[in-house]
Homo-oligomer: A and B are copies of this chain.
Amino acid sequence: MGVEESLSRLAEMVDGELLGDSGVRVRGVNELAAAGEEEITFITHPRLATEAAASRAAAVIVPRGVELPGKPAIRVKDPYLAVAVIHNHFLHRPFAAAGIHPRAHVGPECRVPAEVSIGPSAVLGTGVVLGKRVTVGPGTVIGDHAFIGDDCVLHANVTIYAHSRLGRRVIVHSGAVIGSDGFGYATDDRGRHVKRPHVGSVEIEDDVEIGANVCIDRGTFGKTVVREGAKIDNLVQLAHNVVVGERSLLVSQVGIAGSTTLGRGVVLGGQVGVAGHLELGDRVMVGAKSGVHNSQQPGAVISGIPAIAHKKWLLAVSAFQKMPELIKEIRTLRKKVAGLLQEHPAGEPDAE
């Protein structure tokens, strides 16, 4: 909590407009209800302006169009972004290398720089290469010949299989498993499932974050790839040879079947399933709990099982909920038409 910044310096940092006393000193960030007198807080909607003005906070980050008479503020286009940048600034600490804990095991032929932290009960196999300032949490296991780039953080009890490659600044949360065998079998004449060898690997590019208990299978041949800046929430499943495009966002419990490719900036809502061997174009968005059975054009916004255009799905869902009434109505119509036909039998169509 040592850092202290002037409001004007913070405003600069986020390209914001300074309102009020530029000399205010700030020592941290907090949410509206909890912010103290030395902290900056934020609101994302004008309706919170009154509450913000009355808060104890030293200053407030506010969206465009908001005034806070009497309270110093920084006005920005995107308060979420500004608060993230400022909060990260306050929390930033230089990497403090703890070295290799005496209860960690580092196998032969590893390349481990001095500037790392490897926790107790962690295990590195043979020929593992760590970049600078890598953190390997307690109980984390890194398989033979895996490569972990500079500034990666592997939390506790992570498992990285042999030959996986992680870029720089990758964060992997506890329980995640990277590089397990894909689910691939050939079935023989007697119905036995013969395991197909999985000789491919996993490549995670720079600035990816991988949630707790995520599973990423290695390629059957070739690679499973998560591209630069993609973010993967807890309990997501990526099968063999999946490619996740740059800066895509996969919300919790998503599952993607083998050999499917996502473009850049794809967003999959929670519990979405995507079938195998599909291509989802750039910026495709899929509503939570949907099942995607077909490839999608860039920018498509889809929902449902199987997923269709989101707008169409909304209409269909609304209709679905009226189905019992509809059925009644059809029954009534049928009776009315039958009555009319009894009177005027010529109205009867010739055939179905």
A205 CB–B CB distance under 8 Å? no
Neighbouring B residues of A175 by C-beta, 8 Å: 159, 175, 177, 213, 215
Check A123/B141 contact, CB under 8 A, given A180-B174, A289-B273.
Answer: no
Among A118-140, those with CB < 8 Å from B are: 119-123, 125, 137-139
Neighbouring B residues of A101 by C-beta, 8 Å: 105
Docked complex Cα distance between A22 and B320 (Å): 59
Neighbouring B residues of A315 by C-beta, 8 Å: 323-324
Contact A288–B273 (Cβ < 8 Å): yes
Chain A interface size, under 10 / 10 to 19 / 20 to 34 / 35 or more? 35 or more
Segment among A51-59, A63-71, A77-85 that sits at the interface with chain B: A77-85
Contact B231–A183 (Cβ < 8 Å): yes
A270 CB–B CB distance under 8 Å? yes
Neighbouring B residues of A199 by C-beta, 8 Å: 87, 91
Contact A234–B180 (Cβ < 8 Å): yes
A21 CB–B CB distance under 8 Å? no
Nearest chain B CB to A335 CB, angstrom units: 4
Docked complex Cα distance between A341 and B321 (Å): 29
27 A-B pairs with C-beta separation under 8 A: A80-B196, A91-B199, A105-B138, A121-B123, A121-B141, A141-B156, A173-B181, A174-B177, A177-B212, A181-B209, A183-B251, A212-B215, A213-B215, A253-B255, A255-B270, A257-B270, A289-B305, A312-B324, A316-B320, A318-B324, A319-B324, A329-B330, A332-B349, A333-B333, A336-B347, A337-B340, A343-B347
A221 CB–B CB distance under 8 Å? yes
Docked complex Cα distance between A323 and B320 (Å): 7
Nearest chain B CB to A36 CB, angstrom units: 12
A339 CB–B CB distance under 8 Å? yes
Contact B211–A183 (Cβ < 8 Å): yes
* Nearest neighbor of A322 in chain B, beta-carbon distance: B327
Question: Which residue of the partner chain, among B143, B229, B332, B334, contacts A192 with CB atoms under 8 Å?
Answer: B229
Neighbouring B residues of A12 by C-beta, 8 Å: none
Contact A81–B155 (Cβ < 8 Å): no
Write the A234-276 contact mask toward B (1 if CB under 8 angstroms, else 0).
1101010000000101011101010000000100001101010
Docked complex Cα distance between A349 and B338 (Å): 9
Among A202-226, those with CB < 8 Å from B are: 207, 209, 211-213, 215, 217, 220-222
Contact A327–B330 (Cβ < 8 Å): no
Nearest chain B CB to A253 CB, angstrom units: 5
A9 CB–B CB distance under 8 Å? no
Nearest first, the 5 A-B pairs at minimum CB distance are: A319-B323, A340-B347, A339-B347, A159-B174, A123-B138
* Nearest neighbor of A31 in chain B, beta-carbon distance: B221
Neighbouring B residues of A87 by C-beta, 8 Å: 196-197, 199
Contact B306–A234 (Cβ < 8 Å): no
Contact A209–B195 (Cβ < 8 Å): yes
A161 CB–B CB distance under 8 Å? yes
Docked complex Cα distance between A349 and B342 (Å): 11
Docked complex Cα distance between A54 and B252 (Å): 43
Question: Which residue of the partner chain, among B83, B196, B222, B306, contacts A317 with CB atoms under 8 Å?
Answer: B306
Q: A84-B197, A159-B175 are in contact. List 11 more A-B contacts (CB 8 A).
A: A85-B186, A87-B197, A91-B199, A119-B123, A120-B123, A141-B157, A157-B157, A193-B247, A255-B271, A319-B324, A333-B333
